[in-house]
Amino acid sequence: MQRASNRTVTVDLTYGDEYFGQLGPFEVELGWWSSVDEVVARAAASAGVPVLVARLVDGRSEEPGHGGRVRYHAEASERPRALDPRPPEAGTAALLGPAERRAAWATPEGLRSALGWAEAELAAVGRPAAGPARQIRTWNLSGLLRLPTVTGVDAWLKTTTPAFNAHEGEVVALLGGVDRTLVPTVLAADPSGGRLLLDHVPGEDCWNPSAGTVADVVPRLVAAQAALAGRPDDLAALRDRTPRALAAQLTALLDRLAEETDLTPEELDRLAGFAADLPGLLDRLAACGLPETLLHGDFHPGNWRSDGGSTVVVDYADSCLGHPALDGLRPRAYLGPEAWQHHAAVWAEAWRRHAPGSDPRRALELAEPLYHLSYALRYQEFLDHIEPSERPYHEGDPAAELRAVLACGPVSGRR
């Protein structure tokens, strides 16, 4: 499928209890629904006042999450003088009304509260905000805003839902205690509120990493993970995504799959067989000699950031306790065959240094179905915690990952 490079956007504008109708439709260049920087700019120009996007109201596309026609709810930062308020139609009022499982930052009040917290924390560390925040991203998993400060160095406010995400400030502290240069600087954290204030990390996201970048960042993460593996008490608060925990979670999920996915009876039978055979696979994986440790949880190159020197790893919302081969496998979907082979070799050599006598290459091979299982469970976790309008982002993902599990072949064949 040809991926759309843009989307057609309409925006329902409110200010407090007043509704000011729809802005648009207008085209924005970047197709990802969660990217709202240009949406905010176009809506603000149309309304004549600053605005912030609260949430996605509706999205329709051949590829959910990207392109197509998208509708947002935005809140004006001040009352629009050039527009007249009006009663919303019944359907619109229902769409803009409350909903179960709505993210805290996906409401005007939640946005204002998060920004107020960030501005107070910046002032407390001697870096007061020097202008309005620039909203970069918002969706069911997180919100991201960039705040200018009087020092000339920006800060970033990230919001997540504590119910199903790691306490990122605590994860950064764990990794930073081993390698300070591997992680961003946390300026403030509110774990119970799902708020994190970070210093700007210069450079670019490494979507197409060089061999040198891989050789820099991968061994450093492995070294930190190996060091933390020897400190189980420090990892006790992490969500348990170890291989045996994944197996137990699959067993619990199997009863739901017939009603909640389009998996066929034959596929469901094969998944039940996979679950029955998992104990033997887990024993073989354990025999590879790699320790369970802190995982980044989404260790793809887009979460590596480099200025041409040392690389920093960002975005720890998916962090957990698990088998390191799951992080080792994550970049494969983002790399060409040659680059993947280089990454795998670097990763395996790093683990051989830190776990003498281990077999990291074999661990990568054995862990492949567990890798897909872990993402099937994670996507299901998203669906269980987000409001209905956000479900198109992830609706078919658990089934797709479980089909990838089956595509790995019989567990008995992974000797």
Q: E strand or H helix at 186, and its extent?
A: strand 186-190
* pLDDT reported for residue 234: 97
For 61-98, the pLDDT digits (tens) are 988 889 999 999 999 999 999 999 999 999 999 999 99
Alpha helices, H only, 132-235: 168-176, 211-229, 232-235
Are the C-beta atoms of 100 and 137 separated by less than 8 Å?
no
Q: Report which of 374, 232, 246, 354 is spatially closest to residue 292, judged by C-alpha positions.
A: 232
Are the C-beta atoms of 399 and 262 separated by less than 8 Å?
yes
For 159-177, the pLDDT digits (tens) are 999 999 999 999 999 999 9
Q: If you count DSSP H runs as helices and E runs as strands, how many of each does the chain have, helices first?
A: 12, 14
* pLDDT reported for residue 1: 36
- Can you tell me the mean pLDDT for 360-368? 98
* pLDDT of residue 35 exceeding 60: yes
Give the Cα separation of 235 and 231 in Å (integer). Answer: 7
For 89-134, the pLDDT digits (tens) are 999 999 999 999 999 999 999 999 999 999 999 999 999 999 999 9
The architecture in CATH of the region 204-413 reads Alpha-Beta Complex (3.90)
Question: Phi and psi for 21 in degrees, rounded to 5?
Answer: 85, -170
Are the C-beta atoms of 302 and 318 separated by less than 8 Å?
no
* pLDDT of residue 307 exceeding 50: yes
Are the C-beta atoms of 382 and 164 separated by less than 8 Å?
yes
* pLDDT reported for residue 226: 98
* pLDDT reported for residue 410: 84
* pLDDT reported for residue 31: 87
* pLDDT of residue 3 exceeding 60: no
For 249-289, the pLDDT digits (tens) are 999 999 999 999 999 999 999 999 999 999 999 999 999 99
For 395-407, the pLDDT digits (tens) are 999 999 999 999 9
Instruction: State what percent of residues in the chain have pLDDT above 70.
Output: 98
Instruction: State what percent of residues in the chain have pLDDT above 90.
Output: 92
**What DSSP string runs through 204-230?**
EE-SS--HHHHHHHHHHHHHHHHHHHT
* pLDDT of residue 414 exceeding 80: no
Give the Cα separation of 116 and 122 in Å (integer). Answer: 10
Domain regions of the chain by residue span:
7-97, 106-199, 204-413
From the candidate CATH numbers 3.30.200.20, 2.30.40.10, 3.40.50.970, 1.10.760.10, the one assigned to the domain spanning 106-199? 3.30.200.20
**What DSSP string runs through 245-271?**
HHHHHHHHHHHHHHHHS---HHHHHHH
* pLDDT of residue 49 exceeding 80: yes
- Using the structure block, give the residue that is written with the tokens 């619109």: 92
